[in-house]
Amino acid sequence: MEERKDIEKLDDVKVLVDTFYGKVRQDELIGGIFNDIIQDRWPEHLEKMYKFWQTVLLEEHTYSGRPFVPHLKMPIEKEHFDRWLELFFATVDELYLGQKADLAKWQGNRMAEMFLLKIEYFRKNSQQTPLL
């Protein structure tokens, strides 16, 4: 009785993003960080994240930007990325099954690892460098 299908179209991406940030906003560890920064701009943030994941998963290039830069000054450590990943993986797995679902988890994990490495690098080398 397997009901889950794969991520196939933009509507699937929207359901993934809406469900994920629904969990994020209520999370006791990371919810406050998001809500403090985003405040009343959640509709815009969700629109941007639909485009980000549409670009990554469906190869429909609607997002352009610099995903890392806004995270540089956030109060985030390994434990926050671990929670982000836990919620993201749980959301993907509860909704979808297949190659794109696997790709979403793979790319989310890569991005979280890269963000954390870069944040730690910038903290150690307090001045700005071309790694941005």
Distance between CA 38 and CA 102 in Å, rounded?
A: 28
Contact between 122 and 72 under an 8 Å Cβ cutoff? The reply is yes
Of 91-130, which residues contact ligand HEM (CB under 6 A)? Answer: 107-108, 110-112, 114-115
For residue 124, the minimal CB distance to ligand HEM (Å) is 18
Give 72 or 97: the residue with its C-beta nearer to ligand HEM.
Answer: 72
62 alpha carbon, distance to own chain's centre: 16
Contact between 65 and ligand HEM (CB under 6 A)?
A: yes
Eight-state DSSP code of residue 40? T
- Give the one residue of 54, 84, 87, 119 binding ligand HEM; rule: CB under 6 A: 84
Give 70 or 98: the residue with its C-beta nearer to ligand HEM.
Answer: 70
Distance between CA 34 and CA 76 in Å, rounded?
A: 11
